[in-house]
Structures are given as C-alpha cells and as structure tokens.
Amino acid sequence: MGMGWCIGLIAVGAILSFAVDWHVQGMNITLVGLILMAVGFLGTAAYVSVFKRRHTQPPPPAAPVIEEDHRFTR
C-alpha cells in the first residue's frame, strides 16, 4: 500500500465519520470511517518506517590515517 492509498483511506474515513449523516441499518457509518482512518494512519506509519530504512545510506569511509616519519627531516 503506497502513501497515496493511505492518505486516501484517511480522507474517506474522515468524510464518513464527520461529513455524512447517512443511516444504514446494521452498520455504523461513523465507526467504519474511524476504522478506515486508523488503517490509513497505520499504513502511513509503516510506509514511512520502511521508506526511511530503505533510503538510509551508510556513513562514508573514514579517510586513511597518514603517519609521517619526522626522523629524516632537517
């Protein structure tokens, strides 16, 4: 599930929860909206977690240590 689907679920859930006053026998539209919003938020959190882990780069290698021998310099 991509980020677009997650945001879409949140939007549809919010519409069903807060903007619709339908009455369906045997189903609570407000609860369905809240469930869709919860699934959207969980999907967004999972997507961001995986996306962040996938795009982290290892630190660059350290510069080599160069030791100079000062015994032979005048």
In a domain, 72, yes or no: no
pTM over 0.95: no
- Both tokens of residue 62? 């350290």
Q: CA-based angle 9:11:12, to the nearest 5?
A: 65
In a domain, 57, yes or no: no
pLDDT at 6 over 90: yes
Number of domains in the chain: 1
Eight-class DSSP state of 71: G
Among 48, 53, 60, 61, residue whose Cα is nearest residue 7: 48
In a domain, 70, yes or no: no
Q: Which domain holds residue 32?
A: 3-52
pLDDT at 8 over 70: yes
In a domain, 66, yes or no: no
In a domain, 65, yes or no: no
Q: pLDDT tens across 19-55, in order?
A: 988 888 999 999 999 999 999 999 999 988 887 766 6
In a domain, 36, yes or no: yes
